Amino acid sequence: MKIGIEAINFYTSHYYIDLKCLAEDRNVPFSKFYHGIGQEKMAAPPPDEDVITLAANAAFAAIQSVDTKKIDTVIFATESGIDQSKSGGIYVHHLLQLGKNCRVFEVKQACYSAAAGIQLSVPYLTLYPDRKVLLIASDIARYGIGSAGEPTQGAGAVAMVLSAQPNIVAFDKDSGIFTEDVMDFWRPNYRDEALVDGKFSIKMYIKALIESWQQFSERSGRGFADFYRFCYHLPFSRMGEKAHIHLAKYAGKEEYSNEFMMSQIIDTLYYNKIIGNTYAASMYIGLLSLLENSDEDLAGKRIGFFSYGSGCVGEFFSGEVLPGYQKFLAPEQHTKFLNNRTEISYEKYKEFFTYSIPEVDGDHRTPKNETGLFRFAGISEHKRIYQGLL
């Protein structure tokens, strides 16, 4: 029996800034961002967009071709949740009008949590092959105006329907896992922006990759040459390149040319370069970028996945692309959607970024912007109000 992705879709904010604006403001060459970290544009969500509306927009399209009565589990993976108690998934479950016989919960471990969602869903669906899991990863990456991390912000969501009737990717059984208690990136409850030790976080990412790979290859018996493409967690696209070069040197049996190594990851980078870090969602936006931009038919090819969440947990796992997967994707719509976004100025971005909801009770309405089919309309009696524009 194969368990994997039956349907998948992503969504990001309608608004972005070009990192050339940020470079101009900081008086640094824009090549530092375009080439040094490999990022060109950064999604900049307005006040009436949050992880719930991003998630609902991603999931709405993902479930259109699915028998939603069979979804009995919604897993909401995020590190930028909107409530300390209630799962963001319940708001999305309501907005999508899913059935009431459904368990809904939120998972958190920095950018890693959606991979945990996959690892727990695969054995669950093996036991109950008639059921489906809706796994949503949705995040808004915030480091703060003027911080070193600012050019690596972003926002977006991915929704995947996982089931025993996969159309796109079937996951393999084995994975390799690594955990270590480190402070490379964290966000205390009293802060809206993450704290980060940037250079250390890069070192920990690479360490977690190599350690996870070691266990993965021992458990699975698979080697580097068994993989055609690799999808990495992408906090910025050059991180994927750095990671892949390290893995190729460590696990490969020969010296590979840069051209060859880049060919194994390049298609995964396009969407992230113009969206930014989407934390828990980023690796799966990378997967969609690969499947929708590759010139080749990838059916039957094996993909390696490395998910990293600061703090930290890493996991290497794998999957095979399924025949006919192209029929279940929407590359033209995604390209059109990304090209039709609105570029905003650095000033407008700062206005969006610094907007805050008053903590005092009252009837607070958010200003209206383009947010797709769903919007965060405001707060009343400390309750968030969402509108579906269907």
Provide Rg for the chain, Cα atoms.
20
Nearer to ligand HMG, 96 or 261 (CB): 261
Residue 171 C-alpha from the chain's centroid? 18
Nearer to ligand HMG, 164 or 234 (CB): 234
Residue 221 CB, shortest distance to ligand HMG, in Å, is 28
Residues pairing with 303 in the sheet: 229, 319
Residue 351 CB, shortest distance to ligand HMG, in Å, is 23
Cα torsion through 243, 246, 252, 253, rounded to 10: 170
Exactly one of 14, 49, 111, 292 is catalytic; name it. 111
> What three-state secondary structure class fits 345?
coil
Residue 196 CB, shortest distance to ligand HMG, in Å, is 5
198 contacts: CB under 8 Å, gap ≥ 6: 148, 149
* Count of Cβ atoms closer than 10 Å to residue 187 Cβ: 17
Question: Is omega for the bond preceding 111 within 30 degrees of 0, making it cis?
Answer: no
CA distance 305 to 141: 21
CA distance 92 to 98: 9
To the query of whether residue 233 is one of the catalytic residues in this protein, the response is: yes
CA distance 319 to 5: 10
85 contacts: CB under 8 Å, gap ≥ 6: none
Exactly one of 40, 79, 150, 241 is catalytic; name it. 79
Distances (CA, A) of 68 to 19, 74, 214: 40, 11, 38
Exactly one of 14, 93, 233, 244 is catalytic; name it. 233
Residue sitting closest to ligand HMG (CB):
36
Nearer to ligand HMG, 285 or 322 (CB): 285
Nearer to ligand HMG, 197 or 370 (CB): 197
Pairing of strands 313-321, 229-232: unpaired
Nearer to ligand HMG, 106 or 172 (CB): 106
Residue 13 C-alpha from the chain's centroid? 13
Nearer to ligand HMG, 205 or 216 (CB): 205
Residue 67 CB, shortest distance to ligand HMG, in Å, is 33
To the query of whether residue 79 is one of the catalytic residues in this protein, the response is: yes
To the query of whether residue 35 is one of the catalytic residues in this protein, the response is: no
154 near 4, Cβ under 8 Å?
no
Contact footprint for ligand HMG (CB under 6 A): 29, 31-32, 35-37, 79, 110-111, 148-149, 151-152, 185, 196, 198-199, 201-202, 205, 233, 235-236, 239, 277, 279, 308-310
Residue 384 CB, shortest distance to ligand HMG, in Å, is 23
86 contacts: CB under 8 Å, gap ≥ 6: none
Residue 31 CB, shortest distance to ligand HMG, in Å, is 4
Q: Which residues form the catalytic set?
A: 79, 111, 233
